[in-house]
Structure 1
Amino acid sequence: MDILGLDSLFAEMLLGVGLAMVIGNGFAWWKHRREETPDFEGAQFRPGRVIFLGSIGLFIATWAGITLLT
C-alpha cells in the first residue's frame, strides 16, 4: 500500500488532461454556436479540430477513469 497514493497519480493526471480537453473543446463549440468570436485577429473556428481533439480527450478521460476504477 502506497501512503501517498503515487500508484494512481499518472491515471489521475491523465483524467484531468482528458477532461480539460473535453471541456475546452466543448466550450469552443458552444461559443461558436452563440456566434461569439475571439478578440484577436486571424482566429477562426475549426470544427474538424474541435471534434478530433474532443474525441481524443474523451478517449483519454475514459481510459484513465476505467484505470482508476479497476
Structure 2
Amino acid sequence: MFLGDDLLGYLVLAFGGALFVGNVLAVVAPPGRQLDDTNLERAPVVRSLAFAAIGLVAAIWAIASLVTS
C-alpha cells in the first residue's frame, strides 16, 4: 500500500495543516486589492478562526495518531 498503513493519518495531517495555515493567513494577510464586487476586502474573522481551530485540532490529532502507532 502506498505510504503503508498510515496513509489516512498523513492525509488528515495535510488537510488539517492546510486548513489551519490557510485560514490564519486569510485573517493576517488579506488580499492586496479587491478584484470585483463579489470578493470581500477581508475574510470573516470569526468564521476563519473557527475553521483554523478545527484544522489545528485535526493536525494535532493526526500527529498524535502517527506518533503513537
TM range (shorter): 0.7 to 0.9
- Please, which runs of 5 or more residues in structure 2 have no aligned partner? none
* Change in CA separation of 1:51 and 1:37 when aligned onto 2, cut-off 3 Å: farther
Aligned length: 66
- Please, which runs of 5 or more residues in structure 1 have no aligned partner? none
Identity over aligned pairs, percent: 26
* Change in CA separation of 1:47 and 1:37 when aligned onto 2, cut-off 3 Å: farther
RMSD value, Cα: 1.9
Q: Shift in Å at residue 41 of structure 1?
A: 2.2
The two structures have a TM-score, normalised by structure 2, of 0.80
Distance 1:57 1:38 in 2: 27
Q: Shift in Å at residue 27 of structure 1?
A: 1.1
The two structures have a TM-score, normalised by structure 1, of 0.79
